[in-house]
Structure 1
Amino acid sequence: MSETAMNAARMIDMLPDSDQHLAYELIKKLVLAWDPDFTKLTPEEAKLLNEAENDEFVDAEDIDWSQIGA
């Protein structure tokens, strides 16, 4: 989590419950306006996805499942 996000969480935690809910709804509205379908990646997510795509995966169709555990 970024330093900014941690600071925001600390500040929100200092608010009364009703104001915490208001702050949460505001952040939620900002996030939905930025990415309504939740399809954008954070830099960390993009890095992990790139690493996974460049890793060596085995296609399930290439596995002889009848021989597993034999």
Structure 2
Amino acid sequence: EKIRVLGQDVLDGVKFGFDNAVDQLKALDPTVELNTEGLSMLKRVENGAIVIPPEYAQMVEDEEEDEQG
């Protein structure tokens, strides 16, 4: 149980940092509309494309379902 709680704390911290970085990018040039659709802290860039690493596929799917309500 303690490991699960610590893992969730780490994930929450990473999400905060990711969201903060996105907010800072938006604030740097508010005249530009930053497209954040499909952006996720669990995805990465490979060969110029945003991809979902296999180990995070289920987590990304759950995250997208939560965003849709």
Normalised by the size of structure 2, how large is the TM-score? 0.31
Normalised by the size of structure 1, how large is the TM-score? 0.31
Give the number of the structure whose residues are more often strand, by fraction.
2
Give the number of the structure whose residues are more often helix, by fraction.
1
